Amino acid sequence: MIPLVHDFHDEVVLVFGGGAVGARKARRFAREARVVVVSPAFADADFGASEFVRAAPTPADVPAWLDTAAPALVIAATDDGALNAAIERHAREAGVLVNRADRSGDRETGSVVVPATVADGPVTVAVTTSGTSPAVSRHLRRELESTVAGAGAVATVVGDLRTELQERDVSPDARRAAIRAVPESSAVWAAARDGEAEVRAVAERVVEAALEN
Ligand SMILES: C[C@@]1(CC(=O)O)c2cc3[nH]c(cc4nc(cc5[nH]c(cc(n2)[C@H]1CCC(=O)O)[C@@](C)(CC(=O)O)[C@@H]5CCC(=O)O)C(CC(=O)O)=C4CCC(=O)O)c(CCC(=O)O)c3CC(=O)O
Ligand SMILES: NC(=O)C1=CN([C@@H]2O[C@H](COP(=O)(O)OP(=O)(O)OC[C@H]3O[C@@H](n4cnc5c(N)ncnc54)[C@H](O)[C@@H]3O)[C@@H](O)[C@H]2O)C=CC1
């Protein structure tokens, strides 16, 4: 399996199953996509800004739901294995990406796995065991939280400096060396604890020192 980063703005994610797992997936995708959750009952949980449709589709009903919602991604998170299998099969036939929440290990063509993620501003680190062991993904995600803290501010500042240097009379080699020096500086990461303005001040000094060399 190969990780990709997908922009879900203006896209529909169709979730079957309103239990704890359906809620977790809905919450995550509703940060960006239009999420529709179809289920006969809904857990007392946070579904984010999702829409609810109270229904209990059978396997034979699934193609009509796919036609109506025209989703970019379908999530099969019901507690009915036969229904989840039918959702997976019909999504594949319709050429729609599908995530089966009730399966580990080998997966069908077009299937996606939801990784554990740590985000800080524009930076996201995702962990997957390719569906082998979600508890291991969760553990590694927790370990990575302290590493990723502050990375958002560093990435934002380095992105800005990169644009500014592209407009200055600096050779591409010197620019690349100066830009690479910023995230390699431990002083920059120390400043990330204090905020973006502090990162910016330290990063400017690192860039100017690199350009003088
Ligand atoms: C294959 C996958 C399909 C998919 O959903 O995409 C899948 C499948 C299954 N999960 C199960 C159980 C648990 N899942 C979690 C947690 C998470 N599960 C997530 C993803 C995935 N889970 C995909 C693989 C990801 C990868 O590649 O590693 C995370 C990372 C992302 C998210 O869902 O948001 C999120 C952690 C988020 C975080 O904390 O950062 C915990 C821990 C907990 O809840 O504390 C447990 C209990 C402990 C355990 O059993 O391991 C079961 C058994 C159900 C049963 O018991 O019957 C199945 C089905 C099966 O194994 O057959
Ligand atoms: N991917 C993951 O991280 C995890 C996956 N699982 C698996 O995911 C599945 C769901 O887990 P939970 O949410 O904890 O179960 P749950 O039992 O709380 O929720 C199942 C939901 O499916 C709904 N449902 C039943 N028939 C339906 C139908 N015909 N159409 C639409 N929805 C229907 C139920 O009303 C309920 O809301 C389980 O089978 C379990 O194996 C469990 C834990 C974690």
Percent of the chain with pLDDT over 90: 93
CATH of the domain at 89: 3.40.50.720
Q: What's the domain range around 108?
A: 1-114
Q: Whose CA is nearest to atom 43 of ligand 2?
A: 21
Whether the predicted model's global pTM rises above the 0.80 cut:
yes
**168 within domain boundaries:** yes
Indicate the range of 107-116, 165-174, 204-213 predicted with least confidence: 107-116
**120 within domain boundaries:** no
Q: Whose CA is nearest to atom 48 of ligand 1?
A: 135
Ligand 2 proximity of 40 Cβ (cutoff 6 Å): yes
Residues 15 and 73 in one domain: yes
Q: Could you tell me the distance, in angstroms and rounded to a whole number, from the CA of residue 116 to the centre of ligand 1?
A: 9
**181 within domain boundaries:** yes
- Complex ipTM, two decimals? 0.94
Q: Is the pLDDT of residue 105 over 80?
A: no
Residue 63's alpha-carbon distances to 17, 59, 68, 140, 168, in angstroms, are 16, 8, 9, 37, 56
Which atom of ligand 2 has the smallest separation from the CA of 81? 39
Q: Residue 213's pLDDT band (boundaries 50, 70, 90)?
A: confident
Q: What is the pLDDT of residue 67?
A: 97
Token readout for 207 is 């860039």
Token readout for 144 is 């990575």
By C-alpha distance, which of 131, 55, 128, 106 is closest to 15? 55
Q: Where are the beta strands (DSSP E) in 24-165?
A: 34-39, 51-54, 73-76, 97-100, 116-120, 123-127
Domain edge (last residue) among 94, 114, 134: 114
Over range 37-61, report the average pLDDT: 97
**How many domains would you assign to the chain?**
2
**135 within domain boundaries:** no
Q: What is the pLDDT of residue 7?
A: 96
Ligand 1 proximity of 141 Cβ (cutoff 6 Å): yes
**90 within domain boundaries:** yes
Q: Is the pLDDT of residue 29 over 80?
A: yes
Over range 79-104, report the average pLDDT: 95
Q: What is the pLDDT of residue 104?
A: 78
Domain edge (last residue) among 85, 114, 143: 114
Residue 13 — φ and ψ, nearest 5°?
-115, 120
Residues 109 and 58 in one domain: yes
Q: Whose CA is nearest to atom 10 of ligand 1?
A: 134
- Residue 111 and residue 100 in contact, taking contact as beta carbons nearer than 8 Å: yes
